[in-house]
Structure 1
Amino acid sequence: MTCQPTDVILHTFDWPYALISERAEAIYRAGYRSVLISPPMKSFKQEMGTPWWQRYQPQDYRVIDNQLGNTESLTQMVAILDHYDIHVYADIVFNHMANESSLRLDLQYPSASDLADYKQNEAYFERQKLFGDLSEPLFTEQDFVEAFGIKDWKDKWEVQNGRITGGPKDKGLPTLRDNDHVINQQRQFLQALKRIGIKGFRIDAAKHLSLEHIRRVWSDDIVHDMHIFGEIITDGGATRQEYQLFLQPYLEQTRLGAYDFPLFQTVYNAFACQGSLTTLVDPYSFGEALSKERAVTFAITHDVPNNDAFRGQVMDEVAESLAYSYLLGQDGGVPLIYSDLDTSGIKNREGKPRWKNVWQDKAMAARIEFHNRMHGLSMNPILATDNVLIFTRGDQGAVSINKSSHSFTINLNFPVDLIDILTGERFVSDRGQVTINTPGRASRMLLCDR
């Protein structure tokens, strides 16, 4: 893994490539140094638009042509972001191909009609081509496992061989084998993206891929100089069955990073009404967080608001803001900040799309600045109760989080004034002590004024 903890990731979930290009300078000024884009593959598109999940149902790897853009607009976007020294990470879907069972019965990808479209619009698709011969299919029937829907999500073999479905009447997503041909096509795709300038990969649905499949695709030559992290959804840390079945073997048998779902669950529970902030002092020691060298941390990721099964894990707005103060204030992991264009339909208190502009508000930019300036400094707990968490970062700063409805006051030992980067308020040092008052349901991220 070649990233640094200061490479805060902006998840531009379902943003068109042209929009990312347009906002490159704003992304840079907000403090982000990495951008995660939705899967850059060929997927179904139409003039009236398509839902976000269509991007997670690939039809072909050899061309990029989807609702968000094509190979040309992606290449331009990467070049523009590179001008601002911002890395681009791509979401990669290798477990399955698109469910097109309502249109056809065969398992050829791309379909015969898509191949005919390639031939009819040959000049266009040749410009979008990453590799391969577009007159031939990418995959055929022999590249897929037997069709059956996953029923027991705690059966490892079933999860890694069955189809992800929307229910008993849904044919599901055709699951790929890990045969030599599939592995070769997937590796060629990743190599082509690297040539464009992609600097990292998110492995979508990584729990559905066998470790042998992952190791064969993400070998040393692919991994070199890249930040690669898997999405392995678990319902908690080391004591949970899902962790032991899927995440633990991945961590033990690869060197890749991962979404820190154990920490997410810990944070979610801590900021709930009956939760305790004491659990956030050192969650790694209790198996409730990943090691900071491999973790991608988050307060929300795209599956949470956009899938009914996970919507219950959407925090209220204040709790989410406090969670971000913790994640960007603590020492550990590469933080990921989620943004969408209202794919979920969830609104904020003002009736506007909740995650459309959070990425660029002043408080988020301030948190990112604090995170970057505190990089490498030790995290030292000062106070932890059910409702209050206070820690310092070396001798350069401090974080105070108060989830209760009442204000909280404490004296901290600092020989200089402290400035709350979130509000601009100054707290004066008097004989080596600074009195900090944190309002209820609020946080402070304090920098030494040297």
Structure 2
Amino acid sequence: MRRPLALLLALPLAVAACSPAGPPAVDTTPTVGVQLFQWPWRSVAKECTDVLGPHGVGFVLLSPAQEHIEGDQWWTSYQPVSYQLESKLGTREEFAQMVEACGDAGVDVIADAVINHMAGIDGGVGVAGTEFEHYEYPGLYGRDDFHTCSLTVSGDIENYLDQQQVQECELVNLADLDTGSDPVRDTIAAYLDDLTSLGVDGFRIDAAKHMSAGDVEAIVGRLQGDPRIISEVIRGSGEPIQPEDYLDAGAVFAFQVAKDLAGIVPGGSVHRAVELRDGEVPSDDAYTFVTNHDTERNGQTLSSKDPDEFRVATALLIGIDYGTPVLYSGYAFSDRDAGPPSSEGRVEDVECAEPSEDPADGAWLCQHRDVLGLAEWAAVVGDAPVANMWREGYAVGWDRGELGLIAVNDSSRPATVRVSTGLPDGEYCDAAGPVAPPTTRDRCAEGGVVVEDGAAELQLPAMGAVALHVNLRAG
């Protein structure tokens, strides 16, 4: 999606408002994305307009848009019964309006494409009224369009070291599409092209690991235009299917980065963050995250239930020069199957909850708003490399070229450090921390950080970060 010229010009001016007498602002390229998990389309549209666009977020990752089985659980969204754009998140018209609103705000839209399978129940009626049976979806697919697995007694995947099982048997009874079939590929491509026709900019390929890399590539090759592709392929030690296999179709999610952050932050080894690229796919092919909707439920990564560590990990994720970071925004839950607040089969509009150490189930947490200053910082530093790295106790930091500096404190106590930096001399405001409603603050009113003769003294908050960039300087 082409970004409005007015928006590209406005962003550097907005973030440079504290420095009217300083050097001109550098051009910015919004890169950081936000996964708005289970957010309804009307709320996504409002967030794009009011928050994400104005604060340098490059794209939003949605939950699935197609018709699905009935039920309040979040995973019902991942059990398609038709490719109608009618779901608990909204109507086709609301979806189209949301995509347009996000585009006008300069925010790309990435749809979650569930194309490996259909529903995992014997039959019923979808949320838009479509009647179906297992392996029979009228006007869409019949029994011959699905794999028949004879490799296991149950028909489900039992051994992830067996590539054929992973890609031809069923994942917990979900009807597994034969994505090697040309008619199936054509039907899937038509569905994705429909989304593209409404302005969608790209797709997260759900459960890509459960389709052969060749099948994914063949489907992507049928698509109109040049959508952004991000495949979900979880790296498993010793497994025959790895993320690198899918790079011919596009980028992949770097799950190992999230798992490594969950180890180095509680372990006091934050200096190892710059090594997270080791053994991973190239930076341009990697989408990185601290948590997502699956990992926050299975405990494999940090989450908002670990607020201090989550904050530190997010700063590290954005601070390193590897991958495209994706922030996460969800809701509070004690039952891992629980969906968001709903009424009459529809997810209610999002109202961000006040910060709390013990949020009520269903409270919209809006975690992304707490770190949008870092998204702005990332838009300024772009792909500038890590330089001048330093380490002092549990604090670590580095420059990103001559455009920005970030420092992270992984200690329960504040820290004062004096560091060398390549930033030009001047007085800088701290870009870290919340900037969006309802937590708007004047970051320059809190006092600046003086860079003089290539050195700066930083006051680091406990379990927090300081981030400086050339577009946010004190007047």
- TM-score band, normalised by shorter chain: 0.7 to 0.9
Match of 2:301 in 1: 313
Q: Partners in 1 of 2:256 and 2:161 — Cα distance?
A: 17
Q: Which runs of 5+ in 2 are unaligned?
A: 4-27, 150-154, 337-354, 434-442
Compared CA separation, residues 138 and 305, structure 1 to 2 (3 A): same
Compared CA separation, residues 261 and 183, structure 1 to 2 (3 A): same
TM-score by length of 2: 0.77
Shift of 1:223: 6.9
3-state SS of paired residue (1:263): helix
Match of 2:46 in 1: 22
How do residues 39-438 of structure 1 correspond to structure 2 at under 5 angstroms? 39-45=64-70, 50-61=72-83, 63-101=84-122, 103=123, 114=130, 136-147=138-149, 148-165=155-172, 172-178=173-179, 179-219=181-221, 222=223, 224-234=225-235, 240-242=237-239, 245-251=241-247, 254-272=248-266, 274-284=267-277, 286-287=278-279, 289-306=280-297, 310-315=298-303, 316-342=306-332, 349-352=357-360, 356-361=365-370, 364-384=371-391, 387-414=394-421, 415-422=425-432, 424=443, 425-438=447-460
Compared CA separation, residues 191 and 416, structure 1 to 2 (3 A): same
Specify the code of the residue in structure 1 equivalent to 2:160. W
3-state SS of paired residue (1:245): coil
Match of 1:126 in 2: none
Quick check: 2:302–2:309 contact (8 Å CA) kept in 1? no
Specify the code of the residue in structure 2 equivalent to 1:66. S
3-state SS of paired residue (1:356): coil
CA distances 1:304-356 after superposition (whole Å, capped 9, x unpaired): 123xxx22523411111111111222223222111124466689514256762
Compared CA separation, residues 370 and 345, structure 1 to 2 (3 A): farther
Following TM superposition, where does structure 1 have runs of at least 4 consecutive aligned residues deviating by more than 4 angstroms? 1-5, 343-348, 352-355
Compared CA separation, residues 340 and 405, structure 1 to 2 (3 A): closer
Specify the code of the residue in structure 2 equivalent to 1:281. V
Quick check: 1:2–1:227 contact (8 Å CA) kept in 2? no
Q: Partners in 2 of 1:301 and 1:325 — Cα distance?
A: 16
Compared CA separation, residues 180 and 323, structure 1 to 2 (3 A): same
Q: Partners in 2 of 1:160 and 1:386 — Cα distance?
A: 47
Aligned length: 400
Quick check: 1:110–1:137 contact (8 Å CA) kept in 2? no
Specify the code of the residue in structure 2 equivalent to 1:17. W
Higher mean alpha-carbon deviation, 291-300 vs 18-27, is at: 18-27
Compared CA separation, residues 382 and 270, structure 1 to 2 (3 A): same
CA distances 1:174-219 after superposition (whole Å, capped 9, x unpaired): 1111212111100111111111111100000111011121111010
CA distances 1:111-157 after superposition (whole Å, capped 9, x unpaired): 9x8359xxxxxxxxxxxxxxxxxx95311111111150111122211
Compared CA separation, residues 157 and 357, structure 1 to 2 (3 A): same
Shift of 1:56: 0.3
Q: Partners in 2 of 1:431 and 1:19 — Cα distance?
A: 47
Does 1 or 2 have the higher relative contact order (CA < 8 Å, sep 6+)? 2
Q: Partners in 1 of 2:45 and 2:263 — Cα distance?
A: 37
Compared CA separation, residues 447 and 80, structure 1 to 2 (3 A): closer
Q: Give the share of equivalent positions with the same residue, in percent.
A: 24
Quick check: 2:67–2:126 contact (8 Å CA) kept in 1? no
Q: Partners in 1 of 2:29 and 2:250 — Cα distance?
A: 15
Quick check: 2:193–2:224 contact (8 Å CA) kept in 1? no
Quick check: 1:6–1:372 contact (8 Å CA) kept in 2? yes
Q: Which runs of 5+ in 1 are unaligned?
A: 117-134, 166-171
Q: Partners in 1 of 2:265 and 2:158 — Cα distance?
A: 32
Q: Partners in 1 of 2:231 and 2:392 — Cα distance?
A: 33
3-state SS of paired residue (2:130): helix
Compared CA separation, residues 211 and 5, structure 1 to 2 (3 A): farther
Q: Partners in 2 of 1:53 and 1:403 — Cα distance?
A: 35
Q: Partners in 2 of 1:155 and 1:79 — Cα distance?
A: 43
Quick check: 1:52–1:343 contact (8 Å CA) kept in 2? no
Quick check: 1:418–1:434 contact (8 Å CA) kept in 2? no
Compared CA separation, residues 255 and 99, structure 1 to 2 (3 A): closer
Q: Partners in 1 of 2:275 and 2:300 — Cα distance?
A: 25
| Structure (1/2) with the larger helix percentage | 1
Q: Partners in 2 of 1:342 and 1:429 — Cα distance?
A: 41
Quick check: 1:5–1:334 contact (8 Å CA) kept in 2? no
Q: Partners in 1 of 2:363 and 2:398 — Cα distance?
A: 29
Specify the code of the residue in structure 1 equivalent to 2:130. D
Specify the code of the residue in structure 1 equivalent to 2:255. F
